[in-house]
Structure 1
Amino acid sequence: MKKLMRKLSKVTHSTQYSILLPNSPKPRSDIVPAGHFPVYVGLDQDTTERFIVNAELLHHPLFIELLHRSAQEYGYDQRGVLRIPVNVVVFERVLESVKLGEGYSRLDELID
């Protein structure tokens, strides 16, 4: 897990940034702002959306749980962009919860 977190924290610079909205309505760019990383979120190819997330989220309990789900689904040796197998709405709730500083520490608490 530490190896994956170190790998994800290495990013490049960009002028485009969005933490809560997927990049799909805008022209896609492979450049990511410093201190951020791209994530593909979705349960299948048709519902997958790309997000740019702040690397500080890697230490939040909700995001760690998402990383564990990703590792269970795809393994620790994923190539390319990190994929998280959850519904996009759930991922947006996680981002909003973290942004608002709500005290959720498990995904189950957030979904119910």
Structure 2
Amino acid sequence: AVEYVQDAGIENIEKHETTLAKKAASLLAEIPQVQVYGPENRAAVVPFNVQGMNPHDVAIILDQTCKICVRSGYHCAMPAIENVGLKGTVRASFALYNTIEEVEKLAEAVSSIAALVG
């Protein structure tokens, strides 16, 4: 694993992951029923919610209908998430092996899910 990271270059990994996360946040933010959380200058994680839907339901739909794996819940930050009035979020995480096409597929799938609730 260390050799893999050294060969790829930590700076290259960070740049790739950040590029994917920014693209995902941008595409998801264009969907009217989707709220994206976090700073504009983000790392490889994009938390979001679909208005009117439980984050766990969104994660299950993405998994079972599109084979897209995301996490849902409090993400070890229950007090902070509850403090802003949420019951959890959906979290997309990106790594070196992910592609822009996969980010676009996520956004398309979330858009389809959001359309179900109007």
Greater relative contact order structure (CA < 8 Å, 6+ sep): 2
Q: Same fold (TM over 0.5)?
A: no
The TM-score with structure 2 as length reference comes to 0.29
The TM-score with structure 1 as length reference comes to 0.30
